[in-house]
Amino acid sequence: MRNTILFILFLITTLCGVLVYFIPQTGTIILISISGLLTLVAIYDSLQTQHSLLRAFPLVARLRWFFEEERDKIQQYFIEDNLNGTPINREKRSIVYQRSKLNKETIPFGTQHNVYAKGYEFVKHSIFPKDHHHVTGERVLFGSDKCSQKYHSSLINISAMSFGSLSKNAIMALNQGAKMGKFAHNTGEGGISSYHLQGADLVFQVGTGYFGAGKTVDGKRVFDDATFKANAIRPEVKMIEIKFSQGAKPGHGGILPAEKNTEEIAKIRSVDVGTQVDSPSGHSAFSSYQEMIVFIQKVRDLSGGKPVGIKFCVGNNEEIESMIEAFSKANNYPDFITVDGGEGGTGSAPMEFTNYIGTPLLEGLVFVNKLLIKYNLKNQIKIIASGKAIDAFDIVKYLALGADAIAMARSFMLSLGCIQARECNLDTCPVGVATQDPDLVKALVVEKKNVRVKNYHNKTISSVKEVVAAMGIAGIADVKANQVFRRQKNDEIESLETIYYNN
């Protein structure tokens, strides 16, 4: 095959040469130049020894690399239907785009979902629906009896995404949008940057690397009271979230690829520029449940009494129960728990951790909720559900299973214009959301995207109210697991209460 390809290219080049000799026009000169260049590339391919396929099929094999590089885009644009795309299908992506742009969001001609398939979920409406304009519950009060600065949060807030993982323009647009929509913006574990200080309420996340909350001692990151306090007492900071793990890579620690670690980010995190930043898998500030409780209280005190929560993806059930039991026995506990699902997203994670480690959100959420009820802590500790929530039904379902509020990450990225290119770990995000490339970052115009962030939030809240009203419920917090249903078999429908709580 190699000889055939080379022969064809030589023949084309010779024919072009004949054309140039007899018809010496500019176009033919350009043609022979292109042909000659392709021939030289083919000769090089046939002689190199690194790639077997390229050596056997010179030049032509390069098409394989091109299509392999563009495979995800081809799949998304030309092959997948509205429901089978992953990680977020086209129908879900479209509703975010439509709401963020205030475009028409109705759909024609009926559902594309197979309502008789196992796993189909739905809620039942009431003969006496409520007026959705009067549905209450879009604000949630955070703060246990250990907290002196309680916070009225929106039902929906921006989940943790660091500056570094996202661009400065993305962070600014999210923060400004959150300010306009009166909801909160989680900083992620990368610390508080100037781009987070656009006026929105902040949830200051403290990760295992203690960025913005610690210092480097003998090459290791440790928690530092003074550094943490300087950020925690900022008026923009309304809550503190201590991250134990995240759903996309539980038990691993955060990863900032070297390509994204610019001089500015390295300075904020106190690390070497241009290096991959791997956060430790666990906290060095505590190593037992008792020490954890002391640390939570210290963080609360240093912040001036603001709500302090913990975030984790449910792992070992016995460990989680022992932790909740320890909270109960000590009569000291976090003000909220953010339950992250194993289906959570991230800019960079090992494949095995993303695909095979961590409990999915529904099971994790139910497990934590059951434990809080068992140890009489449900009235003190709020639950934030985090894991691929996009539309109002997702939110209603999580609330029915025990969540008090919802944290969203990828859906807010989509509201910024994310096209699910899945290049977050390569620093090549084509729309400037998850990159530090200055030219690509410029593609994201903050003054346009911040409004879309606000629109998506507000329209989704309105949609939640409409769904709840259709169910005949006057308050969002009154949604229960016995009001959401799932088809288990062709002829069997059960409520989520029966599936998750009555067994």
Per-residue confidence of the chain (503 residues) as pLDDT tens digits? Answer: 667 877 887 887 787 777 777 766 766 677 777 788 888 888 888 888 888 888 888 888 888 888 888 888 788 888 888 888 888 888 999 999 999 999 999 888 989 999 999 999 999 999 999 999 999 999 999 999 999 999 999 999 999 999 989 999 999 999 999 999 999 999 999 999 999 999 999 999 999 999 999 988 888 889 999 999 999 999 999 999 999 998 888 878 778 788 888 888 887 777 778 888 788 889 999 999 999 999 999 999 999 999 999 999 999 999 999 999 999 999 999 999 999 998 887 777 888 888 889 999 999 999 999 999 999 999 999 999 998 899 999 999 999 999 999 999 999 999 999 998 888 888 899 999 999 999 999 999 999 999 999 999 999 999 999 999 999 999 999 999 999 999 997 679 999 999 999 86
Rounded to two decimals, the pTM is: 0.89
Q: What is the pLDDT of residue 491?
A: 79
Q: In this structure, what token pair is assigned to residue 31?
A: 């043609």
Give the separation between CA 375 and CA 370, rounded to whole angstroms. 9
Other C-beta atoms closer than 10 Å to the C-beta of 448 total 11
Q: Are 96 and 390 in contact (CB under 8 A)?
A: yes
How far is residue 158 CA from its own chain's centroid? 9
Give the separation between CA 56 and CA 46, rounded to whole angstroms. 7
Q: What is the pLDDT of residue 1?
A: 62
For 307-363, give the secondary structure using H, E and C. CEEEEEECCCHHHHHHHHHHHHHHCCCCCEEEEECCCCCCCCCCHHHHHHCCCCHHH
Place of tokens 């346009």: 448
Helices then strands (H, E): number in the chain? 18, 17
**Bridging pattern class, strands 492-495 and 484-489:** antiparallel
H helices present in 70-167, as ranges: 71-74, 90-101
Q: Which of 412, 458, 428 is nearest to 188 (CA)?
A: 412
